[in-house]
Structure formats: C-alpha cells, structure tokens
Structure 1
Amino acid sequence: MLNTSAHKLDNATLSLFQQTTATFTISVIYTVVTVVNLVGNGLSMWLLLFHTSPKTLSIIFMINLTMTDLALGAALPFQIVYQQQRYNWTLGPGMCGFLTIMFFSNMYCSILTIMAIGVDRYLGIIWPMRFREIRAKKRTAVLSCLLMWAVVLLVFYPLMTTDLTFHIPELGITTCFDVLKRDMLPSLAAWGAYLFAVFVVLFFLPLCVTTFCYVSVIRKLARDSKKTAQKERAKRLTATVLLVFLLFFAPCNVLFLAHIVRRVFYKDSLYMAYKLSLSFSCLNSCLDPFIYYLASREFRHKLRQMLRLSSVSSTDSTRAAERKDSLFSQLNDAQETSARC
C-alpha cells in the first residue's frame, strides 16, 4: 500500500497487518496454488517441450505462458513464509525486490500472453489468409514474447530501482512491498499517474483486446452454418478462457485501482481486500494446464504413459496419435474451414 505519510503509519494501516484470519486465508491459497501450479505446469512444460511438434506460434505462446506460471509458483513459497511470519520480511531488501518483480511481472506477462493467444486466434479465424505467412513464422512468436517481457519490466522499472522494504517499529516487523515509501516518486500526483499507468497498460488495454478477440472468435464460430461437435467444443473452450480471464484477473486489478484512489484521496484503504483478491488471482496459474490440455486425448495419453498407467486403451491411443483435441487444434480446424469458405 502507498504510505501517504512521510513518517509513521496511521492506526488503520497498522491494524491491517494484525488481521490473522486474512493472513491465514492468503497462506492457505498460496500453498494450494504452489502445489497444483508446480505439478500441473511442470507436466505441461514437459509435454510442450518434448512431445509437441511442430512448435507453432500458439505452442510458443503456450510455452511462455507455462513458463510464467512456473516462475510464479516458484516465488510463492517465499510469500507463504512471509505471511506466516506476520508480514515480517527477513531476507533483505535485494531478495524482496527480486521476488516482488518476479511475482508481478509473471502475473502480468500471463495476462499479456493470454492476450497474444487471443490475437493469434482472432487473426487465424477472422482473417485466415491475410496474416497466414506472419503467423507461420516462429520468429513472430519469439519476438512477441520478448516484447511482452520488455513492456512489463519497463513498467516496473521504478520498483526495480528502490528499496521495497519498510520497517514498522510499532509492530516490530519489516514489510516487503506492502508499504511503499512516498518519496519513491516525486509527489502524490506522480504516484497516481504511475499506478494508473500500470493499471491501463498491463490490465485495461489487454482486457479490451482479449475480450474483443475472444468474443469475435465465438461469434464467428456461432455464425458458421456448418456446425460440428468440434466447433461447439472450441466455442465453449474459448468462452471458458475468456471467463477465467475476467474472473481471476479483473477483481484484483479493479480493487488495486480502487484502493489507490481511496488511499490517496480519502486516506482510507481496501488493501486487505486487494491482497485477498491478488492471492485468488494466482489460482489462474493452476487452471491453465487443465483448460488447454485436459480436452486433449494426446495429453491424457502422454500423462498416463508418464505415470506408467496401463489403463490406456488401444482405441484411445490410436485416436490420440491421429488428432489433438486441445483448444488450439479445434480452433485451427475452424480456421481451415473458414479459409476454404
């Protein structure tokens, strides 16, 4: 939260760090996310890198998304310890800054990657021939991923160049990122402009682009006269991705903006609500492998093989080898149909 005082914190702010129920809830959510995230995304990364070929533009985006999810999962254990120590950071300013940037940059890179996947699907379904050559180049995907990371790191540059720890003598703790020093930026107006820019660049604009692309794809598939079960599944999965995006990322970013407005102008706070919504948003990293791969026979087949389960039927194995039923495969089939029409 932003400390609007140059000296000590007010009583309302101090009380936030003594809410044991919220702290326990956040710790439980982070623990569940860490376990499911590392297992699910670890399996996904293994399949993407070693058992998925060719590496299309969509697959490269998925590798980037899975990588960001794994990095988020790797950062969460430190947050769990921090919560259990009642917001007392003991690893020093350098580690605080590194893990904070790692946490938020990976979350917002996930948002930008989901947007990029939406743009790719939009171009493939709505304009299948016009952008075919650009989408076929792996370099397009790699450069797009590098651009995403560059944008996020540029936005968070002010946080990378300052000490994000704050000692609270009244409670005998040192927080990490939970209290931002007012003198980190020249004025409250600069703070407001900076935090509003973070909201717009890393959430609001991607939200608009993602919503437009996915809604356009859904409408295109719904209008297609040749309705098939495969297209219906693709439509449902596309709607699910959009719903998950809105459900997990929108609340924490809207609360972030509301908290800043109330903190700067009304000396009030929504910070604990924001912290809870932020932990809830991390659940998205657990759902990505299920959303994109549990619809795939090939994924189930490879997973059972890896776990050495003998329950894979020969029929399912044959079908898995013949066709991938993931979201991307279904949408690619819809794309090819549109191109022929």
Structure 2
Amino acid sequence: MTGNSSSFKLDNTTRALFLNVNTSIVISVIYMIVTAVNLTGNGLSMWLLIFRTSPKTPSIIFMINLTLTDLALGAALPFQIAYQLQGYHWKLGPKMCSVLTLVFYTNMYCSILTMMAIGIDRYLGIVRPMRFRQTRFRKSIAVLSCLLMWGVVLSVLYPLMTTDLTFEIQELGITTCFDVLKKDMLPSISAWAAFLFSMVFVLFLFPFCVTTFCYISVIRKLARDSKTVQKKRAIRLAIIVVLVFTVCFAPNNILLLTHTVLRLFYKESIYMAYKLSLCFSCLNSCLDPFIYYFASKDFRHKLRQIINLKSLNSMDSMKMERKESFYSSHYPVESPEGEHSKMRSTT
C-alpha cells in the first residue's frame, strides 16, 4: 500500500519481483497450464452437468455454480499471462484491471463457499438423512444459496469494483494492476481491518471449519455403516477437498493477511511469496472436476460413458447401485435397473 505515485518509493522485495524475469516466466507457465486444464476439464464438466446429468439435485446445482466460476477464471487468465510476460505492465486500463482482479478473488471465495455447500448437502444426506428429511436443500433453495454466495462475495469485494487498482511506477516505467495498492483505497485503518477480516475469516476460515466438520462426520458415519467402496470414495473426496483448501486457499489468505499487516504497520513486505500463493490458488479450478467425480454418482457414470471406460460390467454396476442407494445424498434415487437401462440406451 502506498500514497500517490509521485511520492512513491518501491520497496526492495516488490522491486525484485518486478525485475525477476525468471519468476515472471515460471508464473506465466503455471498460468498457461492451469488455463489449458481449466478450460478442458471444466468445459467437459459443464457439458456433463447441464446436458447429461439428471435430475438436477442440489449437489449438481452447486457443482454447476462452481464450474461457472472456474470457467470465468480460465477466460481471465490469458490477460494475466500477457501482463506477466510484458514485465508487469498493464495496458488495458483501470476498468479491465478491476474486472480481472474481481474474477480472481470471486473464483477463490465462491469456490470456498460452494464446497462448503456441497459438504453440508452431503452431511445432511448421509449423517442426518431422517432428522433433516424435510429441511434438505431443494432445487430452489440451492439456487438461492448460490445467488446468496455471489451476493456475499461481491459485497465483501466491493472496494475492488470501485477503486482504480492500477498504479504507475515511474522508476520502472510500468503501470501495475493490483500489485501496488493505494493506501487510500479504503478510508481508514479500521476499514482495512474490516476488509481483511471479511476476506480471511468470513470467506475462508469459517467455511473451512464447516467443510472439515461435514466431511469428518461423513467419513465417521460411513466407517460404521457403509461398504468398502462407498467409504473409500468418501475418503478420497474428503482428501481432495482438504487438499484444495490447504494447498490452494490457505497459503494465499494467510499471506494476504500477513503481508497487509506488515505493510500497514511495519513497512515490510513478503509480496513475492504472496504473488506465488495467488498463482497456486488458481490450481483449485483444475482439481474441482475430481470433486465432481467422487461427489456425484451420475457424473461418474456419464464421464465413463464419454471416455469409454468399461471398468464395471453389468452385474458389477447393478451391485454398486444397490450398495450406494441407501447412503446417496442425491435424491430422488433412481433404481439400479432404471439407471442401468438408461445407460444402455445412451451408449
């Protein structure tokens, strides 16, 4: 954070980042790989979720919402790649900078809240199937929940939409985009504190705790009552979700809070570490299709049909349906015979 550009003096850590060509290339290459995997995996996922998966259960609606945010990130990443390769020189103006920054952080926090919603849905469907039978997420509530997520995230990130996030660094002859922030972006230290608290604690830490509780409860329930296949699949799903939180989201939010406090009160910087963590936060968009695979039985079947994986014969498929039907969180559950005949007709 700084004042106006005429009186600004770049700190050594941030200057080193801007002048380090190798770091810029590495980050750009990671973004290129993420873009390719993101658009391919989530494009296929969106097609399967919208056109090949039925009925549209609450979990499927949440997955569609998550895929939408991932595709938006995939569409925005090429602009970030160009910015990096041009030496952190932004040429597209303040409005486009605000849009790009908003897409980055909206993807992160909408993903976090959506994964929390999927975890809650599975918790209610598996751990509390009778007690909450009448209060489960239904389609309309799921849609409203997605809209509420967007509303909460956009409300917290409102300063990013109303502030010029570009900054001219005269000593390097570049104009940055969200790499150097004006201290008067927010009116006071208390406003900065509220902004950071909302991002780190409300949009990250609280959903992380809720999601962890839900998946631990699901695993404990299945460990007591379920067959081996269902239990292993639930454990894999929980591992992937926790991996996304710990690798993609936790470092960025922790470093964001640490870097901001250091800049506001001690004039220190850990910006290079934060920049790298922001890069790795984008990897969540590549891991989300794996969440769909383990979370949705219908998604698994349709994906296997598309890529011609004949891993289950007819009898195994029918047995698997019988094992999973009691604990499935996707309702209403179709009979094994009905699902099997539908798969034969669409193959």
Q: Is the 8 A contact 1:134 1:140 kept in 2?
A: no
Q: Is the 8 A contact 1:221 1:334 kept in 2?
A: no
1:281-323 deviation line (CA, Å, top 9, x unaligned): 211111111342279651443322xxxxxx6559657866996
Q: Is the 8 A contact 2:34 2:283 kept in 1?
A: yes
Q: Is the 8 A contact 1:241 1:291 kept in 2?
A: yes
Structure 2: state its 5+ residue gaps. Answer: 333-347
Q: Is the 8 A contact 1:22 1:272 kept in 2?
A: no
Residue 231 (structure 1) aligns with? 231
Give secondary structure in 2 for the equivalent of 1:132: coil
Give secondary structure in 1 for the equivalent of 2:253: helix
Give secondary structure in 1 for the equivalent of 2:19: coil
1:170-215 deviation line (CA, Å, top 9, x unaligned): 1111111111111121223432332232211111111111111111
Q: Distance in 2 between matches of 1:176 and 1:211?
A: 34
Matched pairs, number: 326
Q: Is the 8 A contact 2:112 2:204 kept in 1?
A: yes
What is the alpha-carbon root mean square deviation over aligned residues? Answer: 2.8
AA aligned to 2:191 is A
Percent identity for Structure 1 against Structure 2: 63
Q: Distance in 2 between matches of 1:263 and 1:291?
A: 37
AA aligned to 2:105 is F
Structure 1: state its 5+ residue gaps. Answer: 305-310, 337-341
1:168 Cα deviation after fit:
0.7
Q: Is the 8 A contact 1:121 1:331 kept in 2?
A: no
Q: Is the 8 A contact 2:122 2:329 kept in 1?
A: no
Range 82-91 or range 280-289, more displaced: 280-289
AA aligned to 1:3 is T
Residue 282 (structure 2) aligns with? 282
1:14-29 matches, within 5 Å, as 14-29=15-30
Residue 50 (structure 2) aligns with? 49
Q: Is the 8 A contact 2:53 2:302 kept in 1?
A: no
Are 1:302 and 2:301 matched, yes or no?
Answer: no
Residues 176 and 317 of structure 1, relative CA distance in 2, 3 Å threshold: farther
AA aligned to 2:2 is N
Residue 256 (structure 2) aligns with? 256
Q: Distance in 2 between matches of 1:26 and 1:273?
A: 12
Give secondary structure in 2 for the equivalent of 1:167: strand
Residues 316 and 87 of structure 1, relative CA distance in 2, 3 Å threshold: farther
1:248 Cα deviation after fit:
1.7
Q: Is the 8 A contact 2:42 2:289 kept in 1?
A: yes
Q: Is the 8 A contact 1:87 1:173 kept in 2?
A: yes
1:82-119 deviation line (CA, Å, top 9, x unaligned): 00011100001111111111221122101110011111
Residue 218 (structure 1) aligns with? 219
Q: Distance in 2 between matches of 1:229 and 1:317?
A: 17
Report the TM-score, using the length of structure 2 for normalisation.
0.85
Residue 328 (structure 2) aligns with? 332
Q: Is the 8 A contact 1:192 1:260 kept in 2?
A: no
Give secondary structure in 2 for the equivalent of 1:247: helix
Residues 172 and 316 of structure 1, relative CA distance in 2, 3 Å threshold: farther
Q: Is the 8 A contact 1:93 1:163 kept in 2?
A: yes
Q: Distance in 2 between matches of 1:153 and 1:5?
A: 27
1:1-341 matches, within 5 Å, as 2-3=1-2, 7-12=7-12, 13-135=14-136, 137-222=138-223, 224-293=224-293, 297-304=300-307, 313=310, 316=313, 332=328
